[in-house]
Amino acid sequence: MTAATLLAWHRELVARKWGYSQRRRAGRPPTSPAVKALVLRVAAENPGWGHRRIHDELTRRGHKMAASTVWNILNQAGIDPAPRHTGATWRQFLAAQAEHIVAVDFLHVDTINLKRIYALVTLEHGSRRAHLLGVTANPTGPWTTQAARNFLMDTDMNTENRKFLLRDRGGQYTDTFDAVFVDVGLRVLKSPPQAPKANAHCERFIGTLRRELLDRTPILNERHLHRTLTTYLEHYNGHRPHRALNQLCPSQAEAGPPRPIDLTEHRVHRTAVLGGLINEYQTAS
């Protein structure tokens, strides 16, 4: 036995005699992972709530915890425990006002001889119904304004339930263009510069146009593009299902879902659209 071993035993005996760790009162119990996850979830779902508001919500549900605990959970997760109370984000605004928004945007197509032409389309957020306002090789301000006038005169779009027209800040949209929609009761909203996600519904619709149509067929000229888009939009509004509409097309969503049937008892017929580029299916009566 060495002297160092003897001294180590002695230090251990002294520590056991005078240690108070076993006699200390228990401190605040640790917060359970489930509660921490709930606090972070509430904070993510309500970005304008501070730690006090989240604490109030948990207390109202009967869970007792200190407001400082909520503060610590948010702070450790890198979330501002006292966020600035700003307005709704674009995503929240679009979701809350979907039934009242009409979005408009341009898309371009290069013909087989590399001439670029443009189409002006609009999409009703709530019904997912799409419209073609016009096709041109020179989308000037006066042309865009006249296309808007013609659209409102010829279309059956219900403007009574529409409140907002969402567009980007392109130079084709002049004050006269805005006035056309203001006259029918719509308020024009301009998306932030270089922020395509602010007009995400229309951007996604244009992406659908490209994937299902424009990337699969060459376009000859303006007349060909106008005819092709018109035919496709009849399919889009009257036959193509949409997840946002519970797999119904816009026409079905407005008229009501179809009567349930057993497809084993019916014959299904195919109708070719645009030369077989798109197929539509119907059951025989």
Query: Residues 264-268: contacts with CB within 8 Å, 24+ apart?
Result: none
Whether 15 is covered by a domain: the verdict is no
pLDDT of 198 strictly over 80: no
What pLDDT is stored for residue 188 in this prediction? 93
| Whether residue 136 is found in the same domain as residue 230 | yes
Whether 165 is covered by a domain: the verdict is yes
| Whether residue 126 is found in the same domain as residue 32 | no
Whether 13 is covered by a domain: the verdict is no
| Whether residue 199 is found in the same domain as residue 218 | yes
Kindly indicate the confidence band of residue 1, based on its pLDDT and cuts at 50, 70 and 90.
low
**What is the count of structural domains for the chain?**
2
Whether 59 is covered by a domain: the verdict is yes
Phi, psi torsion values for 210, nearest 5 degrees: -70, -45
Residue pointed to by tokens 């006066």: 142
Whether 7 is covered by a domain: the verdict is no
Mean pLDDT (the chain) is 83
Higher pLDDT, 138 or 67: 138
Residues 200-222: tens digit of each pLDDT: 888 999 999 999 999 989 999 99
| Whether residue 133 is found in the same domain as residue 47 | no
Give DSSP secondary structure letters for the chain: --HHHHHHHHHHHHHHHH--TTTSPP-PPPPPHHHHHHHHHHHHH-TT--HHHHHHHHHHTT----HHHHHHHHHHTT--SS-------HHHHHHHTGGGEEEEEEEEEE-TTS-EEEEEEEEETTT--EEEEEEESS--HHHHHHHHHHHHHH-----TT--EEEE---TT--HHHHHHHHTTTPEEEEPPTT-GGGGHHHHHHHHHHIIIIITTS---SHHHHHHHHHHHHHHHHHT--BGGGTTB-HHHHHH-PPPP--GGGS-EEEEEETTTTEEEEEE--
Higher pLDDT, 214 or 20: 214
Nearest-CA neighbor of 35 among 51, 58, 57? 58
Domain boundary among 65, 86, 107: 86
| Whether residue 212 is found in the same domain as residue 99 | yes
Amino acid at 53: R
pLDDT of 228 strictly over 90: yes
Whether 136 is covered by a domain: the verdict is yes
Whether 272 is covered by a domain: the verdict is no
The phi-psi region of residue 185 (left if phi > 0; otherwise alpha if psi is between -120 and 50; otherwise beta) is left
Whether 160 is covered by a domain: the verdict is yes
| Whether residue 202 is found in the same domain as residue 96 | yes
Residues 105-152: tens digit of each pLDDT: 999 999 999 999 999 999 998 888 999 999 999 999 999 999 999 998
| Whether residue 111 is found in the same domain as residue 142 | yes
CATH of the domain at 172: 3.30.420.10
Per the structure, the complete domain to which residue 197 belongs is given by: 92-255
Cα 83 from Cα 43, distance rounded (Å): 10
Instruction: Please state the rounded mean pLDDT for residues 175-187.
Output: 92
Nearest-CA neighbor of 238 among 250, 226, 247? 250
| Whether residue 65 is found in the same domain as residue 150 | no
| Whether residue 181 is found in the same domain as residue 67 | no
| Whether residue 155 is found in the same domain as residue 249 | yes
Instruction: Please state the rounded mean pLDDT for residues 58-66.
Output: 80
pLDDT of 233 strictly over 90: yes
| Whether residue 145 is found in the same domain as residue 249 | yes
| Whether residue 55 is found in the same domain as residue 144 | no
Domain boundary among 47, 70, 86: 86
pLDDT of 18 strictly over 70: no
What pLDDT is stored for residue 266 in this prediction? 77
